[in-house]
Structure formats: structure tokens, C-alpha cells
Structure 1
């Protein structure tokens, strides 16, 4: 299920306050991944999460739906498909942040 606020680039007005409010609202619903256009924003949940089970992985791997909810698996799948189909020959994924990045 795609959440109506899963891509903040689609908002008609995007300020720092609006961005933070949407991220906070999603975080409170355990939705730690959010798109900002073609950027995947991840908020550290600071606890164990069930977002990386084999069932979740397989959903992103085998689903033909192009509008998958934001997740690191969706981003990896998109990059992989684009490389395999020659859509983009060069891909770059930047992982930045404080904890767990790099």
C-alpha cells in the first residue's frame, strides 16, 4: 500500500517545517522510509524492526507494481533493473548520515 505522503516531492509546498512534520508523522507510524523525488530518506528507528524479513524482501524483488512503498529494497531493485535494462549505464548510490551510514 502506497501512503499518500510517501513522496514529499509531490507536495505543493515543501518547507523545512513541512518536511520535518511529514517525517515525524511517518516515523510515529513506523514508516521510516520516505521518498523525496528520487532520493530515499531513512530515519533511524533506534530499535529492532521487521522491515528486512525474507517476506518483505521478496515483495520488493518479485512485485511488478512500479509504485512500491519507499524502502531500501525498492531503491536497490530500481537501480538493478535500470542497469540490467541499459536504461542508465552508470548508477551512484550515496549513503550519508550519522549512525549506520557509510
Structure 2
């Protein structure tokens, strides 16, 4: 894990930060898999920046298929609804 991801999952006193990190990575899987049709691991997506009051930034660490290339970075937006963390992310537009 990268430093932003480490901070998000270890500096928080509750499980909310871990749940937010998991939710963000799950959103990435749900965004990338239908396009790439390739499985990837939890460790293949890294949270490179995270703010308590705003979006997180995710980076794909391995190539899946166009437009899901290693190094691509996408914003993930979060909302809490009835004690459930919701996350949404997009897929980069192919150049």
C-alpha cells in the first residue's frame, strides 16, 4: 500500500476509514471489470490521495486492457447513507 492508503487505513480510530478504502477499491473493480473482462486483485488498485471531506484518487497498478492501463488515475467520490459508505468511480476515456 502507498502512503495515502496507509494513512487512510491506519490513522483512523474506527473502522470507517477501512470501510471507505474497501468501498473505493470495490467501486474500481465494478467500473473496470465490465470493460476489461479481467480479474484483478485488491492490491492492483492503490489509493494515492484521500481526504475526509472530498474525493479520493485511485491509481491502477497493472494493465488490464484499454482504457484500463497501469498508472491511470481516477477520482472516487464518497457518500454516507444510513451508515453505509457508497463510492463511485469512473473509467478513464480512451485516448
Instruction: Return the TM-score normalized by structure 1.
Output: 0.22
> Based on CA coordinates, which of the two structures has the bigger radius of gyration?
1
Richer in strand (by share)? 2
